[in-house]
Structure 1
Amino acid sequence: MPTLDSLRHQAQLAFIASGQDFELGHPGLCPRNPTQLAALVPGDDGVLATLSSGLTAWVHHLEQGGVGYAIKKARSQCLVQNLDGQTSFLNELQRRRDIAEIQARHGGFAGMVPTLYGSLAHGIIVSPWIEGGTVQQWDERKLLQLFDSGAELVRHGLFEWDYCPGNLLDDGRQLWLFDFGYMYRFDPLRQFNSAGMGNDVPQHHLAERFETRNYFAWLLQLEQAQGQDATLAAFRLEKEIALECYLRLRADLNAAGATLDVRDWLDGIIKHWRQALKGELEALYWQEGWRSHRLDLDDDLRGQTCTPRTLARCDWLLDAVAQHHDTLRACGALADETVSSDRRTLLAHYRQLREQAEGFQVTT
């Protein structure tokens, strides 16, 4: 049986090869015609800034008639060296259409940046410019909005894999998700996520994706700046918010007819978190921290898109083995390792992976 990923890749690559355009929105909503927008370069009239750090696209901040626009222009070659990267711009257009159609029918999606126009042929996505910046400090309001948006996507059958810092924008009132290149369809009533066959990779879910791609990197910075007590307090806050979110999500999916497998899967996560919040929080921190840093390192290595942040997370893994190996083994954090879990083997393994990460450093 083909996997969900392989079916998606096959369909998307065939569409790209066909030479057809994929459009959404209306060109009349654009500040200039699509051909002109596709030709924008830094320094052009009205281009206030250009953000070039994206691995899939550049983003121009264009102002026209006193109104700001974000003009996302696809790179000629995505810097992510795999099929997900090659198809990410088309995938983003498809998911933006899905979100727009869901909004038209049901409303909602307050934290999703709206799309004015998008075109595969022109390689552009046009949306309103939102004043704000990346999240520097996670607090209750931002965490609540992150989990509300993520759960809303799940309920509508959209699984977001990449809650990385560069894909989230905060304007001081609302946390926005504005990049949908690695968001894929799945059936939330019968599947856990969009990986594998949908129900055979249960370790990936909303909280895991946020923690892996974002939160534990921020906790690492917090620990270096303020110490372990502040880090555990921030971890507790996030887990309490995640727990309440999952309780609501479980109830919603149950009411919609979710299978026993999905209900039991969510029940297992909820039970584990509840027990930890009652007294085993530090063990959960080591479990989730090890998993998050390990999976993020794997993501970056597979895409050959490593950064200094990748190296810092690998250093966390090496330090954890050197200083807390017994704790990691006792709490089960090492259960999914592909090499022997003894200290010496793990140190050698992650030193080798760090060397690979050094060789895959991306310059944008």
Structure 2
Amino acid sequence: MTRDEARQAAQLAFAASGEEIGLGDAGALPMPIEQLLTLDETHPDVVEAHTGGLTGFVYRLRTPTGDWNIKRARSASLVQNPDGQTSFLNEVQRRCELEALGDDCPPGVVRTRYASFRKGLIVSPWIDGEIARRWDERTLSSLFDLLVDLYLRGFFEWDVSPGNVVDDGSRLWMFDFGYMYRFDPRVDFNSNGLDALLFHPAERFETRNYFAVLLEREKAAGQGAALKDFVLEKQIALAAYERLVSGLRAMGATHTVIGLFTAIIARWTRALREDPAALYLAEGWRSHRLDLDDDLRGQTCTRRTLARTDWLIEAVSEHFVALKALDAFFWHDAGLSREALLAQLADDRASAVRWQIAT
């Protein structure tokens, strides 16, 4: 059994056990808990309602003591896999652990006032800002600082997706921890230990978020503009990873873990100096392919999934030889011919059309 499978089995067993996990004092909530459990967009003090989430509904509740984020779990997650089915439980667990850090909780992590897995309720202060969509030096630096801070404390965030990061104009905030898992950064590369070396903080941002932004940039302003934005992101990620390695050394991480990150740093440094366009192609393939795979496994595809699949099909059609030379293909794509890969992507696109969800 892999570490991933062991975690999933433990989560499903806990969910079936009837045991509770949570934090906070129900008496300190902005309104009685019975009312919060039935809150919806028709309530006069709800000034925003976000009901498109795959695992829960979020309401902005306005009270004399300020605005509150009220999150209520769906009766059943729309994500059709074990991680999706247990994401609310996972979020409550992480919020308990993050609150236990006290003053050592990283800046940019929203604090939790109340959480109950069995009641399906999480209450936290409302972060006054907007979903992070503009990626420049300030926002990229803020995000990578947060991801590195979490990593060094043993929290690996898998879903750095557009809807999970808020910009208040000064810093970025993370407020959804349904796919954040624990690990030991001294001996593990991510929460799967050393078994899944494709996945690391910068990759998670690029895969779940940034390369979709770059794809839109390509369409609007051309590949040159997208490449320029990519180089800026890589330069900021490079500085963040150098800090990450320093932190790992200070905590006595193994040579294996440190070596994996120093190899990434060396690869980025060389590519940015010699051929950033080749790095863009290789990282683009990885990001779009992994995101497509994630959407297909969860049966949670959108128009963006189709756009990213079309990028992959075009990349195989026009750059197959270059991608192969870059050793960009992985998993079930490795070793396939151009024709076989195009056939596989055509099947994947048909599945993505079949599993479209409302957004």
Residue identity matched to 1:264: G
Asked if the contact 1:158/1:186 (under 8 Å) is kept, the reply is yes
Give the match for residue 73 of structure 2: 74
SS at match of 2:131: coil
Give 1:123 shift: 0.6
Give 1:340 shift: 4.2
1:287 aligns with 2:287: no
Give the match for residue 241 of structure 1: 236
Distance 1:327 1:340 in 2: 14
Give the match for residue 96 of structure 2: 97
Residue identity matched to 2:353: E
Give the match for residue 187 of structure 1: 184
Q: 1:111 aligns with which of 108, 114, 120?
A: 108
Asked if the contact 1:91/1:183 (under 8 Å) is kept, the reply is yes
Give 1:86 shift: 1.0
Give the match for residue 221 of structure 2: 226
1:305 aligns with 2:300: yes
Distance 2:109 2:184 in 1: 20
Distance 2:73 2:349 in 1: 30
1:268 aligns with 2:263: yes
Asked if the contact 1:207/1:242 (under 8 Å) is kept, the reply is yes
Residue identity matched to 1:71: I
Q: 1:120 aligns with which of 103, 117, 122?
A: 117
Show CA shifts across 1:37-56 (max 9, x none). Answer: 01112211311121012101
Give the match for residue 156 of structure 2: 159
Distance 1:33 1:203 in 2: 46
Residue identity matched to 1:232: L
SS at match of 2:132: coil
Show CA shifts across 1:86-130 (max 9, x none). Answer: 11101000101111111x1x5241111111111112111011112
Give the match for residue 318 of structure 1: 313
Q: 2:127 aligns with which of 127, 130, 151?
A: 130
Residue identity matched to 2:20: D
Equivalent residues, number: 359
The alpha-carbon distance between structure 1 residues 129 and 263, as it changes in their structure 2 partners (threshold 3 A), is same
Give 1:270 shift: 0.9
Distance 1:338 1:107 in 2: 42
Give 1:28 shift: 3.0
Asked if the contact 2:73/2:88 (under 8 Å) is kept, the reply is yes
CA RMSD of aligned residues (A): 1.4
Distance 1:337 1:88 in 2: 27
Give the match for residue 33 of structure 1: 32
Q: 1:147 aligns with which of 140, 144, 147?
A: 144
Give the match for residue 18 of structure 2: 19
Residue identity matched to 1:333: A
Distance 1:252 1:23 in 2: 31
SS at match of 2:275: helix
SS at match of 2:99: helix
Give the match for residue 5 of structure 1: 4
Segments of 4+ moved more than 4 angstroms:
none
TM-score (norm 1): 0.95
Asked if the contact 2:133/2:162 (under 8 Å) is kept, the reply is no
Asked if the contact 1:340/1:346 (under 8 Å) is kept, the reply is no
1:201 aligns with 2:200: no
Distance 2:213 2:234 in 1: 15
Give 1:341 shift: 3.5
The alpha-carbon distance between structure 1 residues 132 and 323, as it changes in their structure 2 partners (threshold 3 A), is same
The alpha-carbon distance between structure 1 residues 339 and 259, as it changes in their structure 2 partners (threshold 3 A), is closer
The alpha-carbon distance between structure 1 residues 320 and 122, as it changes in their structure 2 partners (threshold 3 A), is same
SS at match of 1:9: helix
Distance 2:173 2:127 in 1: 9
TM-score (norm 2): 0.97
Asked if the contact 1:339/1:345 (under 8 Å) is kept, the reply is no
Asked if the contact 2:333/2:341 (under 8 Å) is kept, the reply is no
Distance 1:272 1:340 in 2: 23
Residue identity matched to 2:15: I
